[in-house]
Structure 1
Amino acid sequence: MHVRMTLLAAGRSSPVANVRFDDERSLDAAGWEEVVRRAPALSHLAAAELRYCSPSARCRETGAVLGLAPLAQPALLECDMGRWRGATLAEVAAREPEAVHRWYADPCSAPHGGESLLSFIRRIGGWLDTRPVGDGDQAVAVTEPSVLRAALCYVLKAPPHAYWQVEAHPLATLALAGGAGAWHLDLL
């Protein structure tokens, strides 16, 4: 089976300096405005037969503004950050600098008590590989930016450390084609 999957990063929910781990916040005013402004350029996504989203408020809202009516998928949640949930990176680094260093250095570690980076990448890859699709189907998923980064690592079979070398901004898209275990980038 062959599918074209477009992953779309949700609109922003806060300024970059205030991004929090496992943030469940809604789109902020600037995020709403950007999604509305970019909606015409993203309207082609509504042609997808299969439409998914992370259950977070900003992903559901982004999908709604774009008229996608996506199905929420718990597997598309951000990496489980355990006790760091709700904190900014700066706050955590001030409290637990060694733990933050370990988290960046070892993709198998989970010093926050949640999910390791490697487990997160595998979870996203597992979700991609189990999409029920027919040959030639198109799918779209409104996700957290971190999901785009994890999907890219999975599809390219890149080492987990490559995750830290990818920036995924609000409303960024990642186009993939293929199917279970045989994904590739679809550069347009």
Structure 2
Amino acid sequence: MHLRVTFVAAARNASVLAERFEDDRPLDQAGWEEVQRAAPELIPLAAAELRYCSPTPRSRATGDALGYTPLAQLALRDCDMGRWRGFTLAEAMAREPEAVDVWLADPRATPHGGESMHSFISRVGSWLDTRPADDGGSIVAVAEPSVVRAALLYALKAPPSAYWNIDVRPLSTVTVVGHSGRWNVRLDGTAGR
């Protein structure tokens, strides 16, 4: 049995110049406009049998604007960054350079008091592996770019260090096809660009 899960990266705020850990701000006007430009390419994904989203306001709003009416999934939340929540990587580095170095070097480390990168990737992978596996079934999931990166690492069985080498643009899509424990990645492109 094979399942097709298409991840759509949530739209972003134009005011966000750098990605923030666990950024839960809603879409601003520029984000809404970005969704509207990408909508013709992304609306057909609403035909998926199941539609999910990360529990962030931005992911929910992106999914709703595209007509998905997604169900929020707690397992698709961003990595718990503990006391670094809301910081950029540069801000965390300025405050705790040694702790950031440990976190970047060791995927099991939690110097911020939150979730390790290893645990985050495993959580997202477990969500993927527990989706209903009707042969030929399809799912769409609107998620933060960090969640999409974690899903890709899990599907590819790539080391956590590769997380930093994947750039997930807002409103881009990627599809994984397969079943629990065996996923293949299919690149769909970037919507609206």
TM-score by length of 1: 0.96
1:129-151 residue CA offsets vs partner (Å, 9 max, x unmatched): 00123111110000010011111
- Return structure 1 stretches of 4+ with deviation > 4 angstroms: none
Match for residue 52 of structure 1? 52
Mapped pair 1:25 → 2:54: no
Aligned to 1:65: 65
Corresponding position: 1:171 with 2:168: no
Is there any run of 5+ residues in structure 2 with no aligned partner, and where? 189-193
Specify every segment of 5 or more residues in structure 1 that has no aligned partner in the other structure, as ranges: none
Aligned equivalents of 1:86, 1:38: Cα separation in 2: 27
For residue 78 of structure 2, what is the aligned residue in structure 1? 78
- Residue 110 of structure 1 corresponds to 110
Partner of residue 134, structure 1:
134
- CA RMSD after TM alignment: 1.2
Residues 7-56 of structure 1: CA deviation (Å, up to 9, x unaligned): 01100035443432111110122111100111011122111011000110
- Residue 145 of structure 2 is matched in structure 1 by 145
Counterpart residue type for residue 21 of structure 2 = F
Structure 1 CA distance for aligned equivalents of residues 88 and 185 of structure 2: 31
Higher fraction of strand: 2
Letter in 1 for 2:136: G
- Matched letter for residue 179 of structure 1: H
SS of residue paired to 2:171 = coil
Amino acid at match of 1:49: E
Measure, in 1, the Cα distance between the counterparts of 2:123 and 2:152.
13
Paired residues, number: 188
- SS of alignment partner, residue 5 of structure 1: strand
Q: Which amino acid aligns with 1:155?
A: A
CA distance in 1 between counterparts of 2:79 and 2:98 reads 20
Structure 2 equivalent of residue 3 of structure 1: 3
Letter in 2 for 1:62: T
Question: 2-side partners of 1:32 and 1:127: how far apart?
Answer: 28
TM-score, scaled relative to structure 2: 0.93
